[in-house]
Amino acid sequence: MELDPSIEQRVRLGQHAGLSRVVENFCLDLVKAALDQREAERSYGVPEAMLTPVPWSAPALEKAWRATHRTRYPWFTEAGLSSRVPKEACRVRAAGLKNWVQSGKGARRGRRVGFPTWRRRKHGSRFRYDADRAQPADAWTVKLPGVGAVATQEEMGWLTSRLADGRARIIGATVREQAGRWWVSFQLEIDRTDVNARRAVGPDAPACGIDLGLRTFAAIADDTGTIEEIQAPKALKAAQRKLRRANKAVARRQRGSSNRAEAVRQLATVHLKVAHRRADFLHKLTTRLARTKRAIAVESLNVAGMVRNRRLARTVSDAGFAEFVRQLTYKTAWYGSKVWAADRWFPSSKTCSGCGAVNAALTLSDRVWTCRCGTVHDRDHNAARNLLAAMHAA
């Protein structure tokens, strides 16, 4: 939810974001120094068991910070900043190091993760609190350690009522800045039983197959035989003119000047509006589908491979296919429906939904094609029907 801090509170928020960045870089510097020392010791023939230990874990990094900050970073104590922020910064850095180690061993799923990099101001301002250190003071105020009671621009009655009767518990909070605006996100353990029961999908609700595409975001084929086409707002494409102007304004300003800082803020505002417009579309669509369909068949898209095509990368990224499937997956679990994902190599577009023949010669530019059985297919509609049929047959 968005915060409404005073000028003094904005300064304090910025100080805590800077503290988090300093601690993360301190941890990385500590680990790199230990790794370099180990390499030097190996070159001298020191046995592995006697090499300098590397502080991989969050407790080890936090212990090193506590032993060092009074002499190396005296401003931390003098400014009265929250001690919970360094604790979480150490956890964040330890998690990044763990991902790097596991990725190198092949024990982590997904793309290969590189060694963590230095946090810089241009990477954004953010920091975390652990447990329930940050929590709502009332429906319109959030209490942030080291900052104080900060007003919000959104009413939180839904959260404060659940916290009061034990239906929700805060296990962490992240504060971040975007385009000059501050936001707080609570990580919750929450009892959604009442909401899920009210919104549960009925047993007579239809199942559907969804074909995702670039021209038509989603073609939805129901059990009833109806086809619904969903057009995406294409927020990034619609904002290209504003983005070009904003980028030119940044390039024309002198580095380090207040005018450049203002131009950067205006550019960030355009990007933020693009992100919000896309998120609004995806949330509304996935919520409607999860509440009205008892089963949903989707494709297993290789989005990472699709964005490697330089002609399609911007359009694919603007669509948000991976986020659509992610939201659909957890929302269907809430409301009692389910998501079924077809195999990545399932020829949903090339298979005739009438006779089952596969048109191997079908290309991406063929939007309408005729099967040898005489059936004329719209590419997207046919794919949605095939996904629905494959889910029923599974």
Could you read off the pLDDT of 285-338 as tens digits, one per residue? Answer: 999 999 999 999 999 888 888 888 888 889 999 999 999 999 999 999 999 999
150 inside domain: yes
2 inside domain: no
Coil, strand or helix: which one is 314? helix
Last residue in a domain, options 190, 208, 234: 190
Last residue in a domain, options 171, 190, 209: 190
Residues 243, 296: one domain? yes
pTM of the model: 0.86
Coil, strand or helix: which one is 115? coil
How many domains does the chain fold into? Answer: 2
Cα separation, 228 vs 372, whole angstroms: 26
Distances (CA, A) of 246 to 226, 231, 259: 44, 27, 12
DSSP 231-275: ----HHHHTHHHHHHHHHHHHHSPTT-HHHHHHHHHHHHHHHHHH
Residues 153, 268: one domain? no
Residues 179, 149: one domain? yes
Residues 267, 345: one domain? yes
Cα separation, 316 vs 251, whole angstroms: 27
pLDDT at 225: 85
Domain around 101: 7-190
Residues 368, 323: one domain? yes
pLDDT at 358: 87
Cα separation, 216 vs 378, whole angstroms: 12
pLDDT at 339 over 90: yes
174 inside domain: yes
* The residue type at 262: E
State the CATH number of the domain containing residue 366: 3.30.420
Coil, strand or helix: which one is 213? coil
Half-sphere CA count of 205, side-chain side, radius 13 A: 20
Cα separation, 127 vs 88, whole angstroms: 8
Residues 131, 203: one domain? no
Could you read off the pLDDT of 149-199 as tens digits, one per residue? Answer: 999 999 999 999 999 998 999 999 999 999 889 999 999 999 888 888 888
Residues 64, 154: one domain? yes
- Tokens in use for 7? 């000028």
Residues 210, 129: one domain? no
Cα separation, 16 vs 384, whole angstroms: 49
Contacts 24+ apart (CB under 8 A), 159-167: 159/186, 159/188, 160/136, 162/190, 162/191, 163/135, 163/136, 167/191
Last residue in a domain, options 190, 214, 246: 190
Cβ 212 vs Cβ 321: under 8 Å:
yes
Residues 155, 210: one domain? no
1 inside domain: no
Residues 121, 230: one domain? no
Indicate the pLDDT class of residue 121, thresholds 50, 70 and 90: confident
pLDDT at 93: 94
pLDDT at 27 over 90: yes
Residues 219, 361: one domain? yes
Residues 156, 202: one domain? no
The secondary structure of residue 215, as a DSSP letter, is S
Question: Across the strands, what pairs with 208?
Answer: 222, 296
